[in-house]
Structures are given as C-alpha cells and as structure tokens.
A and B are shown apart, each in its own frame.
Chain A
C-alpha cells in the first residue's frame, strides 16, 4: 500500500484538497447537499422504520424507491411533460406534480406491501434467522431491479422536466431556486409528520410497542401483522415522495439500477443517525448529503462523493457504534 501511495504520489498528486474551491462554492454546495440530503433522509426513513420494527435491513427498499421514480416518469410523460419545461400555469404544474406524487406513492407503497407479503412474511412464519432475512432482501432487490431491466432495458428513461427554473431569492449571491425550496421544505415537513405520527397516534404507539417487544405487544392487543404491514407501507409512501423529488432534481436519472446506490447511501444515512431512529434518519440524511458535497468540491471530482460518505460513516461508527443519536425506536417517549 505504501509503495502504491508513493508511486501514485510520484505519478501526479491524485488527492488534492482544494480549499479555495470549497470556500468559493460553500453555500451552493451546502444548499445542493441539503437537497440531496432531504431525498436520502426520506428514503432512510423507510429503512429505519422497518429496521426498528423487524430488525431487518430491508435491502429491497431501494427498489421500492425506483418503482416510485418510474411511476413519476410514466405519469408525467403521460400528462405531456417532456425534455423542455412545461408551458403551463404554475397552478396546473402543481396539480400535475401532485398527481405524479400520488402515483409514485401508490406504486412504491404497493411494491413495499407485496415485498412484505411475498418475501418476508413466510420467513417470519418460520422464525428464520436474521441472515436469511437479509439474503432474501438482497434477492428481492435483484428480482425487482431486473424486472425493470427486462421491461425497460438498460437505458435511462427520457428526461422529464417538471418546471421552469425559477429563482426565488438569493442569499449573499447564492441563488435559491424554487425546486430546491420545494424539496427541502416538503421533505422536512413530511419527516416532522412521520415523527409526530410515531409519537402521538395510536398507530405510532403500536409501532413503538412492536419495536420494543413484539410478544408483549401482541398480548396487549396490538395487531402485530397489521403494524408490520403499516411500517412497510409508510416507508413506501415516503419513498414515493422521495422519488418525485429525485426526478425533479435528476430528470434523466431513472434507470433500472438507479435506486441501488442511492438506497445504499440512504441506508448509510440511517445508520449514521442511528438506525431505528426517525430523527436520526433526518439528521443522517442531511449530514451525508452535505458532507458528500463538500468532499466532492474539496477533492475536485464527483467520484469522491461516495468515498467520503463511507469514510465518514466508518469514522462515526468507531466513535459512536449506535449512530449519532442512538438507535432505538422503542425508546421514543410520547
């Protein structure tokens, strides 16, 4: 390794810290990082909820997300959206986006529901060990991904532009666009909603109870199966919303394996904040988005984004093995 580093360094220095670029791009990359971070956080919530209730790393959640993204693209292209900004009034655009969002949520939640039914429920009946659950999840991820591959091929779907770029306001020279604003505000609002749902509603109480002790919860009259299905569906709905924002941000990024890496990063975000912890997912997602972007600007190539994200994850876990906010859905107090 040392020889390798020495040789690499002799070759040309491949790792340069460009602080001036970071200083120059600090605010734009922060804003951009927050935008992507919001998307990660929404997907991370799906991982975290299922993990909290079942102790299962639902690998196939990334495919739940990409299903939502396909639904967004199909709905919007069906409504006549295309590669150029739509020529509609803002109210009409908003209506169309709400429709697309509803379609994405329905599709993603449907896939999440089916996942639970087809793959995980039979395993729970058999009291399968955790490794078996995880491998099943990986298998399902492959299956769903490749169903899309068989159906849509390896090329990305044509881009769908949702709205004209519209600067809303600028902070000290950094222009904030409308889509950024929508994504961050809507995502954070949804996460606050989920957090309140977990803390204050009857369903949320059920989720917390099952996370804490499934058997006792069942004895106390909680319908465990229904709770488990609900967590999958909630995760799916949030992934659908994330898919809408993702297509808004990356119009031509819908391809059969487009969800995989994003899913891995969302799971990383969930672990970073503390898996099973709703607020942790929000914190982890935003942190990961911002840190990844800083790394990208600092090191001067988008290749570095994921490397930085994973290195940060390892460093955080070395100090706090349970993630930043600790990892327990069960400990949440109403």
Chain B
C-alpha cells in the first residue's frame, strides 16, 4: 500500500522544490506564509484588511496620487481592477483557459447597471444594488453562451475566439441603438443613503464609500473562491490546467468544470463592471477595448497566475501606476508590455508564484507528520474521495 504512495510523496516534494526553485524575496514570503498555523494566517489577514480599509482615509504620503488624481477615487479604481483580475484569475490561473476577451464581461456588467438604473434607458428601473446580482446573472448567461461552443476547442483557438467575443460586445454597443453608442448613459444609479447634509453618500466624486463597498465585495469573493479552490471544482481546475488529457482519463469531466470556471469568472467580471458603471455614473462604448482586456491579463500574470492574492495585487498595481505616475500614464502600455516580457523571461510565475499543491492540505499534513517523533519521511496525504 505504501509503495505507490511514497512515490507520490516524492513527486509532490519534487514539485514543491521546483516551484520554489528560484529563490526570491517573494518566495521567502510565500514560504513564511505556508509555515504559519491557520489561526496565525487569519490574524495576519485581519490586520492587513484593516490597513487596506483605512488606505484612502490615511492617504499616506509618497503613495498618494493626490496632486493629479483624487486618492480615494484612485483607490476605488484599484479595487475594481483587482476584483476584475480576481475573476480572470479563476479562468486563466486556476483553469488555465486563456481568455483574451474578458473586457466583454466587464462591459456587459457595466451596461446592465446602466440599462436598469439610468434615466436615459427605457427599461424598468430597479435600485442600483439589485443590479449587482442581475449583472452577475446576465454575464454568467453570456459566459455560458460563449463557453458552450468554444470550450471544446484547443487552447489558442479559445484565445482568438474570446478575443473576438470582446470585440463583438464592443461593436454591438456601438451598433445597437438601445445601447446608445458613444452618447452612452448618464446618471447611472448608486447605492442609497444620504449623509447629514442631505448629500448622497455614494456620490461619483467621493471615493471612500465606493472603496469600502468594493473592498468588502473583494473579501467576500476571495473567501468564496478560497473555498472553491479547496473543493472538488478547484482540484478539477488544477488537474485540467496541468494536463487536460490525464484529468479526463482520471474521470474529471473537464468540459463541465471548464464551463464552470468560465461562468464564475464571467460573473465576477460582470460584478466589477457594474461597480465601474456605478462609480463613474456614466457608461458608453469607449472604455471596453482589447487593450484593456490585455491589461487585465497582465494584472493576473504580474501577480502570479493561480494565486488570488497575486491577482488582487496585480490588478491594483495595473490601475495604480498610471494614476500615480501621470507623467508616464501615456506610456503605460509600453511599460506594462516591457514588464510583461521581462517577467516572462526572468520570473514566469509572476511576483507571487502559483500554488502547485494538488493536494489541498498538503502543507499542514506535512507539518503534522514531520512534527511527530520518529516519523518516516512524510507520505503524501490521501486525497479525500472525489
């Protein structure tokens, strides 16, 4: 019974070694993180969350984008990009499906919000907060429509088809009169509530409430995604990403799980789009181009594909750099392009590498086994039945 298992343990150890083969500042960080107990990890996260919440209020010097861009607004933009990158990370990082048209889902989310709240649309008007779940439902629908015919294709074909989808959404926004092309929709709704002076809390020029809302949503989404990663779906995604044929042979219904990844990614994209529409209070066809899609992808890769925290950090950076260094904002694509190339050549796993643990609680199991006196070299944990 032990012989094959020992082999698996060695293979897993070898994988871990490989993923930690390139020492760097971040690898050390990751190792420190993995060495902590679960409660310690939660404590660190809680402190980090408080700091993140206070970011626009503190408005720290050096970090602030103030003279040129309002810092709270910068923070919301960062948060919205981080949320979008989080969604794309499910598709690209977890399931290994290259989606180059992610902006399409973002656009659909923004348009759903505009259509159901703006005075310029002839639709039934519903409160803004209800459009968030509605945007998710509509984008999931779009994700499935796009995924059903294309997810059976090979990886790079999928890339070109998704790219086409993103373009089609942008062009339809121009063509369909009900979507108002470049004129767009003014006065997109916002969450309710007024402060003591009777001004709306969620005004388009006040970043802090929007920021808190978005960060809260990010935290909820991250908790849900963390559970997903440790579930059967997450394992299926990793298996599909690593070797689709092998996964299929081992009985993983890869198509179904790929479609799931696509749908979940789409829903998060739609959600971030809806927040984007609400924050700006204006939605038209100008901001949903292929380049932005590529920026989202750059965010995921920058942070480290397959790593939630990496995606959030990557997304925030992509939004932050042009707003902070306005002198170079014009050249942001040049800079991001160069960073992407250098990253891929010298550190292709991104700033925080992906976590290659196929086995969910491998780190804890290893620690538990190595803590026992006179223990044999750690055998791999048994995968709970899936």
Contacts and interface: CB of A to CB of B under 8 A. Distances in A.
B171 interface: yes
A220 interface: no
B301 A307 contact: no
Contacts of A260: 290
B156 to A, nearest CB: 5
Contact of B164 (A139, A268, A303): A268
A89 B305 CA distance: 59
Query: Which of A122, A139, A261, A311 has the largest count of B CB atoms less than 10 A from its CB?
Result: A139
A26 B141 CA distance: 37
A142 B340 contact: yes
Interface in B130-162: 138, 141-142, 149-150, 152-157, 159-161
Contact of B123 (A3, A147, A321): A3
A3 B111 CA distance: 13
Interface stretch (A92-100, A126-134, A191-199, A235-243): A126-134
Interface string A121-164: 01100101111101110111111011101100000000000000
Interface of A: 1, 3-4, 7-8, 11-12, 14, 51, 57, 119, 122-123, 126, 128-132, 134-136, 138-143, 145-147, 149-150, 260-261, 264, 267-268, 271, 275, 301, 303-304, 306-307, 309-311, 313-314, 317-318, 321
B160 A57 contact: yes
A130 to B, nearest CB: 7
B297 interface: yes
Contact of A122 (B157, B305, B345): B345
B178 A4 contact: yes
B253 to A, nearest CB: 19
Contacts of B331: 146, 149-150
A268 B160 contact: yes
Contact of B333 (A1, A128, A146, A264): A146
Interface of B: 92, 96, 98, 115, 122-123, 138, 141-142, 149-150, 152-157, 159-161, 163-165, 167-168, 171-172, 174-179, 290-291, 294, 297-298, 301, 305, 331, 333-334, 336-341, 344-345, 348
Contact of B174 (A136, A140, A275, A303): A303
Contacts of A143: 334, 337-338, 341
A139 B175 contact: no
Given A3-B123, A138-B297, A139-B341, A147 B334 contact: yes
A309 B167 CA distance: 11
B164 A1 contact: no
